[in-house]
Amino acid sequence: MRTRKGRTRQGRRGLVLAAVLLFTISAIWHSWSDPLTVPVLAGPARLKGTTVVIDAGHGGEDGGAVSPAGTVESGVNLSIALRLNAILGLYGVNSVLLRTEDVSLHDPGAKTLHEKKASDLRNRAELVESIPDALLVSIHQNTYAGSSRYHGAQVFYTDPERSLPLAQHTQEILRQALDPENTRQASKLQRAVYLMDHITCPAILVECGFLSNPEEDALLRTSGYQTKLAAALACALLSPIPEEKT
Ligand SMILES: [Zn+2]
């Protein structure tokens, strides 16, 4: 059993890590901007007018994937989403969370789990579509049945024209920030994903890691690693994507 002291120490470590990561994001961002400008926590011009919509995948009765050790995907997704929202807020970027707690967004009339899940996804897509100039970041955790060896974050997209540059940029930042040996590439979704298939804005779906890999599962459960993931995603959104560099 973890002591209160242990938790406090862990919390302090989390805060220190968050501060270091924020400084890193700031340094990366300012290294790409005019060196004569005064460093301020300001988001990039390309996000002006954009609302970053953060989707913590699953929630409520639909927990998503579950690791052999019992980690439930929906909780990890939400922890990362809340952190990403907080970091973007520090930079003055407009952002909204599709859910802020462990709930499903289904209509009250939905009865079965299947109906609830279908209704939840329809509502998420409608919410995203109702927001002008939205940019969707959908956060999930991966799993691979039958093998624990696969690991590493991967970014997916559906429409290359709208989303490929951001997907590739995010993949690269995740690689640099989390695991330089991660050779995964940003990929077009090869399966139907309701939310990604029913929206018209730029969108990426980030599988942050594999719950089926015990080491990665253990990392994904820690607040420090969740903060690191959120900071890397924020960095991808805040920094210029290569095509936009001049
Ligand atoms: Zn998922």
Predicted local confidence at residue 12, as pLDDT? 58
Determine the distance separating the centroid of ligand 1 and the alpha carbon of 142, expressed in angstroms.
Answer: 7
Q: What is the pTM of this model?
A: 0.84
Determine the distance separating the centroid of ligand 1 and the alpha carbon of 195, expressed in angstroms.
Answer: 11
Dig out the tokens for 47 from the structure.
């996000």
Q: Is 63 exposed, middle or buried (0-12, 13-18, 19+ CB in 10 A)?
A: middle
Packed helices 160-178 and 223-238: angle between N→C axes, nearest 10 degrees: 130
Predicted local confidence at residue 15, as pLDDT? 55
Residues 174-209: b if buried by 16+ CB within 10 A, e if exposed: bbebbeeebebebeeeeeebebbeebebbbbbbbbb
At residue 95, the 3 state secondary structure works out as strand
Determine the distance separating the centroid of ligand 1 and the alpha carbon of 8, expressed in angstroms.
Answer: 31
Predicted local confidence at residue 13, as pLDDT? 56
Dig out the tokens for 11 from the structure.
């919390």
Q: State phi, psi for 187 to the nearest 5 degrees.
A: -130, 150
First-to-last C-alpha distance (Å) of the chain: 54
Determine the distance separating the centroid of ligand 1 and the alpha carbon of 141, expressed in angstroms.
Answer: 5
pLDDT tens string 37-57:
544 477 788 899 999 999 999
Please state, in angstroms and rounded to a whole number, the distance separating the CA atoms of residues 186 and 153: 10
Predicted local confidence at residue 97, as pLDDT? 98
Determine the distance separating the centroid of ligand 1 and the alpha carbon of 65, expressed in angstroms.
Answer: 6
Ranges under pLDDT 70 in the chain: 1-40, 243-246
Asked if residues 176 and 186 have their Cβ atoms less than 8 Å apart, the reply is: no
Q: What is the CATH number of the domain that holds 53?
A: 3.40.630.40
Please state, in angstroms and rounded to a whole number, the distance separating the CA atoms of residues 148 and 101: 29
Structural domain total, the chain:
1
Predicted local confidence at residue 35, as pLDDT? 52
Picking from 132, 174, 168, the residue whose alpha carbon sits closest to that of residue 151 is 174
Determine the distance separating the centroid of ligand 1 and the alpha carbon of 29, expressed in angstroms.
Answer: 30
Range of the domain at 54: 4-244
Determine the distance separating the centroid of ligand 1 and the alpha carbon of 92, expressed in angstroms.
Answer: 28
DSSP 59: B
Picking from 189, 206, 211, the residue whose alpha carbon sits closest to that of residue 65 is 211
